[in-house]
Amino acid sequence: MPDTKSENATVAALQRSNVSRYIQLASLFRQRIESGEWEVGSKIPTVKELSDQCGVATMTIRQALATLEKDGLIERYRAKGTFVLDRPKRDLWCEVNTDWTGMLIARDNATIKILSDERNVPLPRYEGHIGNPAPGYRHLRRVHIRDGISFLLADIYVDERVCPQIDEADYSRVTAMRLVSDIPGQTIVDANQIVTISSADLETSDTLNVSIGEPVAKVQRMAVNQQGDIILLANGIYRGDMMKIEFKLR
């Protein structure tokens, strides 16, 4: 017997958000599979039943189910119904470090692919009030990949004045902070990290292979040298379903 109170809450939640209905429903149905409410091997409600429960058109339900079918979570059979094939994979192996040492360590078995490389660009808008912008920066867009899965899209800005002292190969093999941590004559006197939970836009969705609107973690990291100049700004976007943040309190 459907829970009318729960159905009304679902309809209200869908109406409050600006995210497309089918994207919201795809996430909702994915959660039902992940939680076990819709068990693997079980038959889920019909399109008409889900349409009535969620207060949306049947076409919207079909779009949401098509997303889950594309992800290999369900399979639809003509005249038989829709069945759950598998649970979503939530492999939280990507940890966002919260200490200086951790930021210098690259992910095990991860590779870095450079998507673009620009020279002498201005520093983009950033959060916080530490340091002063340098005259120009080298801007690299990189994607970090592990086991064939892209888990981090990053834009890094390195002070052009220190770039000649960085091994060119390091741009595609070490973390952003590692790039500037050991440069002769440069001392990192201030550094910070800001983490913001957000949702995937079109570009992030395409690069990290997640649905538009899915949770992502935006991480800004900055390093300031002894002259008070920002020699590094790194803006990273992590897939929300593969990362965790752990703080050591004692």
- pLDDT range class, residue 1, cuts 50, 70, 90: very low
Residue 16: Cβ within 10 Å count = 9
Q: Span 219-244, mean pLDDT?
A: 91
Task: Please identify, among 42, 65, 84, the residue that sits at the C-terminal boundary of a domain.
Answer: 84
**Is 60 in the same domain as 141?**
no
Amino acid identity of residue 228, one-letter, is: G
What's the rounded Cα separation, in Å, for the pair 60 and 76? 16
User: E strands along the chain, which residues?
Assistant: 74-77, 81-84, 94-96, 110-121, 137-146, 149-159, 190-199, 215-224, 230-239, 243-245
Q: What is the pLDDT of residue 14?
A: 60
Residues 127 and 216 in one domain: yes
**Distance between CA atoms of residues 72 and 15, nearest Å:** 28
Query: What Rg, from alpha-carbon coordinates, does the chain have?
Result: 22
Asked if 132 contacts 225 with a C-beta cutoff of 8 angstroms, the reply is: no
Give the other-Cβ count within 10 Å of 220's Cβ: 17
Domain range for 42: 4-84
Average pLDDT over residues 48-56: 92
- Answer whether residue 98 shows pLDDT above 60: no
Compute the average pLDDT of residues 60-83. 92
Identify the CA nearest to 195 among candidates 241, 236, 143, 250. Answer: 236
The predicted pLDDT at position 97 comes to 57
Residues forming a β-bridge with 224: 190, 230
| Token reading at 169 | 């190969």
Query: In this structure, are 30 and 151 located in the same domain?
Result: no
Compute the C-alpha angle 152/158/159, nearest 5°.
Answer: 165
74 assigned to some structural domain: yes
**Domain termination site, one of 66, 84, 102:** 84
Total domains in the fold of the chain:
2
- pTM of the model as a whole: 0.67
In the predicted model, is pLDDT for residue 103 greater than 60? no
Q: Per residue in 120-172, pLDDT tens?
A: 999 999 988 889 999 999 999 999 998 888 889 999 999 999 999 999 999 99
Q: What is the pLDDT of residue 218?
A: 93
- Answer yes or no: do 20 and 122 share one domain: no
- pLDDT for 15: 63
Among 10-19, 21-30, 134-143, which is the least confidently predicted range?
Answer: 10-19
- Based on the domain organization, do 227 and 199 belong to the same domain? yes
Position 94 pLDDT exceeds 60: no
Question: What CATH number did the domain enclosing 8 receive?
Answer: 1.10.10.10
In a shared domain, residues 145 and 72: no
Q: Mean pLDDT in the chain?
A: 85
**Does 79 lie in the same domain as 101?**
no
